[in-house]
Amino acid sequence: MEQRAPRRAPAPLPSLPPRLALPALLALLLAPALRASGPALWPQPLSVKLSPSALHLAPERFLISHGPGSTAGPACSILEEAFRRYYEFIFGFYKWHHGLADIRTGTELKQLLVTVVLDSECHVFPSISSDESYYLVVNGSVAVLKANRVWGALRGLETFSQLIYQDSYGTFTINESNIIDSPRFPHRGILIDTARHYLPVKTILKTLDAMAFNKLNVLHWHIVDDQSFPFQSVTFPELSNKGSYLVSHVYTQHDIHMVTQYARLRGIRVIPEFDTPGHTQSWGKGQKDLLTPCYNGQKKLLGTFGPINPVPDTTYDFLSKFFGEISKVFPDQFIHLGGDEVEFECWASNPEIRNFMMQKGFGTDFKKLQSFYVQKLLEIISTTNKSSVVWQEVFDNGGKLQPGTVIEVWKNENYPEELQHATQAGFPVILAAPWYLDWISYGQDWRKYYQVEPLDFPGTDEQKKLIIGGEACLWGEYVDATNLTPRLWPRASAVGERLWSHRDVKDIYDAYDRLRRHRCRMVRRGIAAEPLFTGYCEHDNKMQQ
The binding site for ligand NAG (CB under 6 A) comprises 38, 50-54, 137, 139, 175-176, 178, 384-385
For residue 163, what are the CA distances in angstroms to 93, 332, 511?
A: 16, 32, 16
Widest Cα–Cα separation across the chain: 90
Please, what is the minimum distance in Å from the beta carbon of residue 41 to ligand NAG? 11
Closer by beta carbon to ligand NAG, 85 or else 517: 517
Q: Which is nearer to ligand NAG, 402 or 460 (CB)?
A: 402
What values do phi and psi take at 214, rounded to 5? -110, 10
CA distance 284 to 60: 59
Question: In the complex with ligand NAG, which residue's Cβ is closer, 92 or 324?
Answer: 324
> What is the nearest approach in angstroms of ligand NAG to the Cβ of residue 468?
23
- How far apart are the C-alpha atoms of 201 and 288, rounded to whole Å? 29
Give the nearest distance from C-beta 409 to ligand NAG in angstroms.
29
Q: In whole angstroms, how close is the CB of 316 to ligand NAG at the nearest point?
A: 17
Give percent helix, percent strand, percent coil of the chain, each to the nearest 5: 35, 20, 45
81 is catalytic: no
User: In Å, what is the CA distance from 535 to each residue of 8, 195, 210, 447?
Assistant: 12, 36, 22, 18
Cβ proximity to ligand NAG: between 51 and 261 the closer is 51
Closest to ligand NAG by CB, 55 vs 122, is: 55
- DSSP letter for 261, please: H
How many Å from the N-terminal Cα to the C-terminal Cα in the chain?
36
* Cis before 272 (ω within 30): no
Residue 50 C-beta: closest distance to ligand NAG, Å = 4
Cβ 165 vs Cβ 39: under 8 Å: yes
Looking at residue 246, the DSSP 8-state letter turns out to be S
Pairing of strands 299-308, 334-336: unpaired
Give me the catalytic one of 341, 345, 417, 453. 341
CB of 333 to ligand NAG, least distance (A): 12
3-state secondary structure of 353: helix
Measured from the CB atom, the residue of 178 and 333 that comes closer to ligand NAG is 178
Q: How far apart are CA 474 and CA 492, in angstroms?
A: 9
What is d(CA 272, CA 280) in angstroms, rounded to the nearest whole number? 15
* Residue whose C-alpha is closest to residue 365's, from 386, 384, 348: 348
Catalytic residues: 341
